[in-house]
Structure 1
Amino acid sequence: MATVVMEQIGRLFINVQQLRQIPQFLESAFPTLPCTVTLNDVPWVFREPDILTGYRLPDQSWRYYFLSLFQRHNESVNVWTHLLAALVVLVKFRELSETVDFLRDPHALPLFIVLLAAFTYLAFSAVAHLLSAKSELSHYTFYFLDYVGVATYQYGSALVHFYYVIEEAWHERVRGVFLPLAAFLAWLSCAGCCYGKYASPHLPKFAHKLFQVVPSGLAYLLDISPVFHRIYSCYQQGCTDAAVSYHRYQVAFFLVSAYFFSYPHPERWLRGRCDFLGQGHQIFHVCLVLCTLVQIEAVRLDYLERRPLYERLHAGDDVAHDAVAMFIFMACCSALTAVLVRRRVYAQFQEKQD
């Protein structure tokens, strides 16, 4: 009996030893990555206010930047927050596809577009934070791509708010101008962000932010107006609508995210202590993800429960198919704008080298 017990203890000891070797095995499975460096070791374009360390070396191989997904650096949290959220959106789409006929139900097209737009902006943002450290030109290129993703999501949000969320009184006021103006402001937001990034070496910091914040702020005020009107109308009548609660959370999360996007806190108060975790941009990412997820849930409920209303409001207008065409046109215009501004950046680099 004692021999059997000793054999079991020996096997357990061997298993524990094997478990301890797992981290060493995982470490050996990937090539050793260069250490991160301080802000003094990278060009100014990569430097973030009050972030002192954790920068990745520029001019490495593409493989290095892809593998830095598993490395601790000052962009790690920014990459993973949006990467994981993009996967959540894919899972949500799969769940919805079991009950929603995206192919045959024309009223489901706006829901499909907002899911596609949400995945696009999250994926583009993750790619930008992961690969932009390759070179100065890569930095501009991938952030211009990120701005295209933001524009598509802005229009996708405007579309579902106009299609599913809007009340009849507000629909009568804005029906002829809402979607065209939303598409224009989404493009303007992309153009403003691209130009602000391009001109940032010659602009004060506040002017750079103005190019990013003002067009996006105008787009948000228009896009969210059906939600504000819906919340106001609902509470006037004694609100019991579950979707409205999600819409309230959506607004709250967005306003918090907008604050942390505009003001780099808490790293300004804790300079050098938020290089890996706790940056304002990371809080912005998390709040924006929560805003997106509760928005999708709110729109899902509206799609299911408000069908008689939106079928009547949009009957005979073919809004869904027109909105798809406008979505494609706006995305193409935003992408073309990003390409043109990137060419100007590339031309400037060529002039410096000559």
Structure 2
Amino acid sequence: MLSLIKLPQVLTINQVPKVFHEDGIISGYRYPYSSAQDCVLSLFQLTNETLNIWTHFLPTWFFLWKLLMVLVEEEWQEDTYCWPLLVFLVSCCLYPLASSCAHTFSTMSERARHICFFFDYGALSFYSLGSAITYSSYVFPEKWVNSPFHKYYIPAATLNSVISTGLACYSRSTVKSAAKLGKGLRIVAFTFPYLFDNIPLFYRMFMCTGEGCTVNDATAVHYQHTALALLTGFLFATHLPERLAPGSFDYIGHSHQLFHVFAIIGTYFQLTAIELDMTLRKRWLQAHSQPITFTNTVGAAILCVASSVCIISIFSRTLFSTRHKKNDDLKRSHFSVASDSW
């Protein structure tokens, strides 16, 4: 069937506007002003984005299956103990889905590219909060349970997630002329919430000694997903290996693909560790930890999502101003003229 369909043309870096360039990637670019249909068709041809899309789209269905299993098997309407897990699983479904959609439709226009990744950033911020909610409910070391830090941990994590979305969107829409500065701001936008959310876990794994340190079967798995998280951050920041050999990893093996793969594997191990802590510590946590409520689980998640949507709409609206629309239309017409001469 696909043999009867004309697949979109694949271009080199010299044939696409600078805004679509990726460090160390020389070829495999899709047409930068594609239709939605061409974007979907490009999923079935090898480009420098194909594996970026599939490595996040397929795992979405695994996490959706896990979510449905919890909804079917647990009495979640009455049992608030499983609410943090549900929030986390929703975030695990949304962030790879948003990422795969962003990579799929980001070549429709320059404005579309920015807006697609605004939603990607918002989903990542929500995933960060989902992690924090489960950590507060299942992962906190016994020594810190009910401490002042524990009490204010979720409100602070919620605020961090909202700030993360705002800073990431700002880095893309306002500092477009300074790509390195924008990339640096995005690294800060996602690194700070990650470090804050993991304070109780890092303390439990690396600093806590004696009683109350919560050493159990989940500990080894926490080490695994932490190592994978550090690896994904390294790949995102360094653009290795394509930076060392530009053009050699255009289609398979470049840093963003590896980033996606290790991020998903890390999320799987994170989920496994959370489920182990949730099961092994249930009796103790229900007896000693602060109560799990709508406010510190679903309510915090709704507030984060609503705030991120407002932030995304504000930044997106600026891209639809008359000036931005004229610039985008002018670039599109210039590119179309140039492409006719190829």
Task: Give the TM-score normalised by the residue count of structure 1.
Answer: 0.86
Cα RMSD, aligned residues only: 2.0
Match of 1:272 in 2: 247
Match of 2:182 in 1: 208
Tell me which amino acid in the other structure corresponds to 1:287.
Answer: F
Match of 1:262 in 2: 237
Residues 235 and 89 (structure 1 numbering): CA distance in 2 closer, same or farther, change over 3 Å? farther
Tell me which amino acid in the other structure corresponds to 1:331.
Answer: V
Tell me which amino acid in the other structure corresponds to 1:87.
Answer: W
Cα distance in 1 for residues equivalent to 2:25 and 2:207: 45
What are the within-5 Å matches in structure 2 for residues 158-197 of structure 1?
158-171=132-145, 172-197=147-172
Cα distance in 1 for residues equivalent to 2:94 and 2:11: 31
Matched, 1:119 2:93: yes
Given that residues 154 and 186 in structure 1 are in contact (C-alpha distance below 8 angstroms), is that contact kept between their aligned partners in structure 2?
yes
What are the within-5 Å matches in structure 2 for residues 324-343 of structure 1?
324-343=298-317
Tell me which amino acid in the other structure corresponds to 1:289.
Answer: I
Match of 1:65 in 2: 39
Cα distance in 1 for residues equivalent to 2:245 and 2:133: 40
Match of 2:78 in 1: 104
Residues 320 and 164 (structure 1 numbering): CA distance in 2 closer, same or farther, change over 3 Å? farther
Structure 2 residue runs of 5 or longer lacking an equivalent are: 331-342
Tell me which amino acid in the other structure corresponds to 1:247.
Answer: H
Cα distance in 1 for residues equivalent to 2:150 and 2:210: 23
What are the within-5 Å matches in structure 2 for residues 80-159 of structure 1?
80-159=54-133
Matched, 1:217 2:191: yes
What are the within-5 Å matches in structure 2 for residues 285-324 of structure 1?
285-315=260-290, 317-324=291-298
Tell me which amino acid in the other structure corresponds to 2:6.
Answer: T
Match of 1:42 in 2: 16
Cα distance in 2 for residues equivalent to 1:235 and 1:67: 55
Tell me which amino acid in the other structure corresponds to 2:222.
Answer: H
Match of 2:205 in 1: 231
Cα distance in 2 for residues equivalent to 1:239 and 1:108: 20
Cα distance in 1 for residues equivalent to 2:266 and 2:90: 16
How many residues are paired up?
326
Cα distance in 2 for residues equivalent to 1:341 and 1:208: 15
Cα distance in 1 for residues equivalent to 2:199 and 2:134: 12
Q: Secondary structure in 2 aligned to 1:37?
A: strand
Matched, 1:198 2:180: no
Structure index of larger Rg: 1
Alpha-carbon deviations, 1:7-60, whole Å to 9, x = none? Answer: xxxxxxxxxxxxxxxxxxx433x5121220111222211110111111111333
Match of 1:9 in 2: none
What are the within-5 Å matches in structure 2 for residues 235-246 of structure 1?
241-246=216-221
Q: Secondary structure in 1 aligned to 2:183?
A: helix
Q: Secondary structure in 2 aligned to 1:274?
A: coil
Task: Choose from 52, 59, 62 the match for 1:78.
Answer: 52
CA shift, 1:142, in A, is 0.5
Cα distance in 1 for residues equivalent to 2:263 and 2:209: 25
Given that residues 110 and 320 in structure 1 are in contact (C-alpha distance below 8 angstroms), is that contact kept between their aligned partners in structure 2?
no
Given that residues 192 and 211 in structure 1 are in contact (C-alpha distance below 8 angstroms), is that contact kept between their aligned partners in structure 2?
yes
Given that residues 9 and 30 in structure 2 are in contact (C-alpha distance below 8 angstroms), is that contact kept between their aligned partners in structure 1?
yes
Moved >3 Å (runs of 4+): 94-99, 232-240, 317-322, 351-354
Q: Secondary structure in 2 aligned to 1:200?
A: coil
Cα distance in 1 for residues equivalent to 2:253 and 2:282: 42
Given that residues 124 and 146 in structure 1 are in contact (C-alpha distance below 8 angstroms), is that contact kept between their aligned partners in structure 2?
yes
Cα distance in 2 for residues equivalent to 1:312 and 1:215: 36
Q: Which moved more, 1:120-129 or 1:167-176?
A: 167-176
Percent identity among equivalent residues?
Answer: 29
Match of 1:32 in 2: 6
Cα distance in 2 for residues equivalent to 1:42 and 1:180: 44
Match of 1:251 in 2: 226
CA shift, 1:254, in A, is 0.1
Task: Give the TM-score normalised by the residue count of structure 2.
Answer: 0.89
CA shift, 1:332, in A, is 0.8
CA shift, 1:261, in A, is 0.6
Given that residues 91 and 123 in structure 2 are in contact (C-alpha distance below 8 angstroms), is that contact kept between their aligned partners in structure 1?
yes
Alpha-carbon deviations, 1:253-303, whole Å to 9, x = none? Answer: 000000001111100111101110111111111111111101111111111
Residues 305 and 239 (structure 1 numbering): CA distance in 2 closer, same or farther, change over 3 Å? closer
Tell me which amino acid in the other structure corresponds to 2:29.
Answer: Y
Residues 314 and 241 (structure 1 numbering): CA distance in 2 closer, same or farther, change over 3 Å? closer
CA shift, 1:349, in A, is 1.2
Residues 344 and 101 (structure 1 numbering): CA distance in 2 closer, same or farther, change over 3 Å? same
Given that residues 107 and 320 in structure 1 are in contact (C-alpha distance below 8 angstroms), is that contact kept between their aligned partners in structure 2?
no
Q: Which moved more, 1:114-123 or 1:175-184?
A: 175-184
